[in-house]
Structure 1
Amino acid sequence: MLYGRANANGRRVAVYVPEELVPEVQRGLDNGRALQELLQQAAPRYVKALKRERTEAAKSKKSRAV
């Protein structure tokens, strides 16, 4: 059985996984967890880059106004 939560309402759901599909489903879950970890690491870096870009654009605009 594969247990999880439905996104929309948070209800717990269960799905039967046939024995022959277990390795493939496990590999997909492992890949999803690895992807989630990478996204959690990338998000703060992306926000910092956006802030830095915005700051540099503001500085550039001020220097052109002078």
Structure 2
Amino acid sequence: KGYIISSNWDDYGFHKGEGVYNHPTLSWSVIKKHLDFAYRSFYLSPGFIIRRLGKSIKQGTIIKDIKTFLKTKW
């Protein structure tokens, strides 16, 4: 039906997607808005943050993880 635009796998990725798929009723901006909401809802949930913090402390990557968190565009 022509929904998939690109067959190049390099075009696909977590933050990519525009230009690889045509939804019949949703614009890319609407899809992106909901994708961003889902991403923030998961990664900024208290449960995830607590688990990730514990893992970072155990692995000794807490400073690196905090820097990554602060660089992320939420």
Both proteins in one fold, TM over 0.5: no
**Structure of greater Rg:** 1
- Tell me the TM-score normalised to structure 2 length: 0.33
Which has the bigger relative contact order, CA under 8 A and spacing at least 6?
2
- Tell me the TM-score normalised to structure 1 length: 0.35
In terms of fraction of residues, the more helix-rich structure is 1
